[in-house]
Amino acid sequence: MQLFWTPASPFTRKVCVAARELGLWEKIEVRPTTWTLDWGYTTPPFTPGLAEANPVARIPTLVTDEGVALGDSTIICLHLNEVAAPRTLIPADKLARQQMWAAYAVADGALEAQIAMRAEMLRPVAVRSERFLEKQRVRIWRCFDALERDVAHLEGPLDLAQITTGIALGYQDWREWLEDFRPGRPRLAAWYAQLAELPSMKATEPKETPTA
């Protein structure tokens, strides 16, 4: 398998943590990508192979052993989960699985809002929309409040919701223009302090993407 990757992308980090936890990391060839800092509002020069494999030209993109390009972190995680069977990051119990996907979608929605903000923050100040940024901030806060309320759903064997929540909280910590999620969310803060210690989380801490 080949993974188009950068160390800054939280969606890519989700795949990297899932692959490590499923025991598949050694089977993945990493294809580093570069992104000029105008990627949020222009078509940047793509790393060779990325747009050819996946016309959406986003990361993560995983090319399977069968040569099929999967261009979305959720679909990639489902594929890895299938390859790793019987190891799994998806609960077998029906209710636990529904609660896992519910929490997953909330955490993933926060990630989408964070990345939308990142793209907006890269625009020249004169054309940056404060109203757009505020909409995303409020969405992220709603998602984190829901995760605080339902933190019990993030307990138990490691799953895709826990990984995605940990990565959204890690991204919130990493970008200096995102506020600390901890005030008013003591249970989520304590939960994250433990999750962040996983070797798979430590090994994938975000770093800036090379621009060339």
Ligand X SMILES: N[C@@H](CCC(=O)N[C@@H](CS)C(=O)NCC(=O)O)C(=O)O
Q: Which stretch binds ligand X (CB under 6 A): 52-60, 134-142, 160-168, 191-199?
A: 52-60
Structure tokens at 19: 């692959």
Q: Which stretch binds ligand X (CB under 6 A): 55-63, 138-146, 188-196, 200-208?
A: 55-63
b/e sequence 169-204, b meaning 16+ C-beta within 10 Å:
bbbbeeeeebeebbeebeebbebbeebeebebbeeb
Contact set for ligand X, span 59-118 (CB under 6 A):
59-60, 72-74, 115
47 makes contact with ligand X (CB under 6 A): no
Give the nearest distance from C-beta 111 to ligand X in angstroms. 8
Nearer to ligand X, 90 or 189 (CB): 90
Angle at 180 between CA 176 and CA 182, to 5 degrees: 160
Only one residue has tokens 């929490």, namely: 103
Would you say 6 and 12 are in contact if contact means Cβ atoms under 8 Å apart?
yes
Give the nearest distance from C-beta 15 to ligand X in angstroms. 8
The pattern of x and - marking residues 7 through 36 that bind ligand X according to CB under 6 A reads --xxx-------------------------
Q: Phi/psi of residue 157, each to 5°?
A: -55, 145
2 makes contact with ligand X (CB under 6 A): no
DSSP 8-state secondary structure symbol assigned to residue 8: S
Q: Could you list the residues that contact ligand X (CB under 6 A)?
A: 9-11, 39, 58-60, 72-74, 115
